[in-house]
Amino acid sequence: MINDAKAGPDRYQRQMAFAPLGYKGQAALSAGRGLVVGVGGLGTWTAELLARAGVGFLRLVDPDKVEEANIHRQGLFDEADAAAGTFKVHAAAGRIRRINRDVTIEASVARLTADNVETLAGDVSVILDGTDNFQTRFVINDYAVKTHRAWVFAGVVGAEAQTMTIVPGRTPCLRCVHDSPAPVCVEPTCRGAGVLGPAVAAIASIEAMEAVKILSGNIEAISPYLLKLDLWTNALQRIDASVAASQVACPCCKGGHFEYLH
């Protein structure tokens, strides 16, 4: 239930006025549980938006400390965090608690792996991708498909961003459109190719919206597309993931092989 005595009667008024959400959807958000894997550019904006929306529980997972080079694109952090070398999850959790006292925040200084994914993700309803590598994403994908858990993939390099919502049994999975991770030496990274803050914030907003749909019980409203945006040229591409999935024998969602969990 929404605790109006704590949150105040006006906090979610504008959200609940949106008919597809309403009071019922807001109550579902309040009971919702999400995991944010990686608290960098994508993870900070996504976590903040979900906290402001009133998602009841968020677990933040990241092994790194705040650096000055993070601040241009990573919300929730400031220069004091960088100067102190604060762990990202601790800085983000502190800020979120000041934003919305009704959200329960759990901070975990860790890197998600096949060994700890069950511990970190076993009690949440949706997993949000804030990572920067496909190896970790494939662990998330295998676990999500195996346990029938929704997750939202997202990534940004330069001004180009992409996102895709995976609901096992309803949509294709990540391995339907990305067969395997690229070798680390050739996978584009923000360090090598650069990254622009507005591109990160834009795709994180879409990622958070997809999570809101899932957690509020409006799963039929999720996007069925792999969405690609180029914020520099303002180009938008929507790829029907089901078409790509129909052309491959996915070893994960079709074959039931979860090699990235071993």
C-alpha distances (whole Å) from 42 to each of 127, 161, 201, 204 are 13, 10, 7, 5
Cα–Cα–Cα angle for 102, 108, 113, rounded to 5 degrees: 130
- What is the spatial distance between Cα 86 and Cα 91, in angstroms, rounded to a whole number? 6
Q: At residue 202, what is the residue type?
A: A
Sheet holding 150-157, edge to edge: 104-108, 57-61, 33-37, 126-129, 150-157, 160-166, 225-230, 235-240
Of 82, 17, 46, nearest to 156 by C-alpha is 46
| Distance in angstroms (rounded) separating the CA atoms of residues 156 and 41 | 9
Residues designated as active site = 190
Give the integer Cα–Cα distance in Å for 173 and 252. Answer: 8
Find where tokens 């608290």 sit: 39
